[in-house]
Amino acid sequence: MNIIGIESSCDDTCVAVFAKKSEIIFERKVSQLAIHKRFGGVVPELAARAHVDNFAPLLYELKKNGYLDEAFRVAVTYGPGLAASLSLGVAFAHTLAAMFRADMCGVNHLRGHAFSPFMSIFPVRIEDFFPHLGLLVSGGNTILFEIHDGFEINVIAETVDDAAGEAFDKGAKLLGLMYPGGPEIEKLAKDAERGRFKFPRAFFGKNEMKFSFSGLKTSLRYMLENITDDDVFAKELPSICASYESALVEPLVNKVAVALACKKYNSMGVSGGVSNNLLLRNKLIELARASETMLLLPKLKHSEDNAAMIAFAAHIDRAHTVADVRNFDASLKICN
Ligand code: KG4
């Protein structure tokens, strides 16, 4: 039967329908960007209030399109994420399940991201692509992991401080750019000189499997303190963005290369909002070619937070869904 996916772990209110025929037949996202933009980041209290407003119209759309008239299961993100935002999605899912006597399950948001690259090749036997090397890069997480038999996930490397997306957003804020910072920095960096400004690359080239981005952000702050002339700043901004973007992307690609050198993977993938970054995508394409590893790239709309990946994960990763969703869990790990 159809699966109605619900995602509200942060600032996007999303619903999707995954059909029996193994495809996403409906998906809607209500973005809260306009609300959070002026604060330079997501304000949890405002995000929760906006979810309350946004779920009602999405419910009517599901109804209008007839998706509530036939039997369905409900799959909801139950963690990790912002506690109040998660709890609203879980409450919405419970309401649907109770009203329509539908089964309901909880999906780990990170596992949703981890399997999203497979949406681009489904329906196939996903196990044939294991062991799979995955890079999850979002506003809250930077995790290199592998998926192997039984859909089990092993973490290979994680950030010890800021996530990659957080480093993009905080860097953009220092540069006076809008939130979310990743796309803003990427836009300005396009065609600009990359090596002009020197930024640190933590754990680069070493076999120490960790990421760290807080030093990068601090070094940007010190560098900006030395540029006191507004005209110089305006002239150099594109090169600063390009150099900063490279310093963020290169350590990510470096650790993927180290992992590929250690083991043969049947496929690799990338997911999370930062995976929309073209420099990152292109470098991973090069790496996949050089290592003769199949690269799975989710559609741009399925890289960011979305409900399609939640419905999809509920279908393929059934063993790891949680049947009894009486609560949400803001601190879940990708392995759970
Ligand atoms: O997965 P996601 O939509 O949600 C959260 O983690 O909440 O990721 C959002 C993050 C933000 O930090 C944003 O700046 C970053 O993804 N992002 C990008 C790009 N598009 C979104 N970073 C770099 N380049 C992009 N094109």
Q: Whose CA is nearest to atom 8 of ligand 1?
A: 273
Cβ atoms of residues 304 and 12 within 8 Å: yes
Residue 273 CA to ligand 1 center (angstroms) comes to 3
**Token reading at 58:** 């999405």
Residue 27 CA to ligand 1 center (angstroms) comes to 19
Per-run averaged pLDDT (10 residues), the chain, 336 residues: 97 95 93 92 96 96 97 97 96 97 97 96 92 97 96 97 96 95 97 93 88 96 95 97 98 97 97 97 97 96 97 95 88 88
Q: Is the residue at 336 inside a domain?
A: no
- Are residue 87 and residue 192 in the same domain, yes or no? no
- Are residue 111 and residue 139 in the same domain, yes or no? no
Q: Whose CA is nearest to atom 22 of ligand 1?
A: 182
- Are residue 229 and residue 286 in the same domain, yes or no? yes
Q: Residue 291's CB: how many other CB atoms inside 10 A?
A: 17
Instruction: Determine the atom of ligand 1 nearest the C-alpha atom of 179.
Output: 14
Q: Is the residue at 261 inside a domain?
A: yes
- Are residue 273 and residue 201 in the same domain, yes or no? yes
Q: How far apart are the first and last CA of the chain?
A: 26
Residues with CB under 6 A from ligand 1: 10, 138-140, 165, 168-169, 180-183, 186, 272-274, 276-277, 304-305
Cβ atoms of residues 294 and 105 within 8 Å: no
Residue 286 confidence (pLDDT): 98
Maximum alpha-carbon separation in the chain:
65
Q: Is the residue at 328 inside a domain?
A: no
Residue 116 CA to ligand 1 center (angstroms) comes to 15
- Are residue 143 and residue 266 in the same domain, yes or no? yes
Q: Is the residue at 54 inside a domain?
A: yes
Q: Is the residue at 193 inside a domain?
A: yes
- Are residue 59 and residue 132 in the same domain, yes or no? no
- Are residue 213 and residue 310 in the same domain, yes or no? no
Half-sphere exposure of 15 (CA within 13 A, CB side): 25
- Are residue 103 and residue 145 in the same domain, yes or no? no
Nearest to 147 by CA among 136, 139, 163, 137: 136
- Are residue 171 and residue 233 in the same domain, yes or no? yes
Residue 29 confidence (pLDDT): 97
Q: Whose CA is nearest to atom 6 of ligand 1?
A: 139
Q: Which residues contact 309 (CB under 8 A, 6 or more apart)?
A: 5, 7, 112, 113, 115, 116, 119, 271, 298, 302
- Domain hosting residue 63, numbered range: 2-115+301-320
The torsion angles phi and psi of 4, rounded to 5 degrees, stand at: -95, 115
| 3-class SS of residue 158 | strand
Place of tokens 């900006």: 224
Instruction: Determine the atom of ligand 1 nearest the C-alpha atom of 11.
Output: 7
Q: Is the residue at 334 inside a domain?
A: no
Nearest to 141 by CA among 77, 83, 202, 211: 211
Q: What is the CATH number of the domain that holds 314?
A: 3.30.420.40
- Are residue 80 and residue 134 in the same domain, yes or no? no
- Are residue 147 and residue 281 in the same domain, yes or no? yes
Q: Is the residue at 258 inside a domain?
A: yes
- Are residue 6 and residue 39 in the same domain, yes or no? yes
Q: Report the domain count for the chain.
A: 2
Q: Is the residue at 327 inside a domain?
A: no
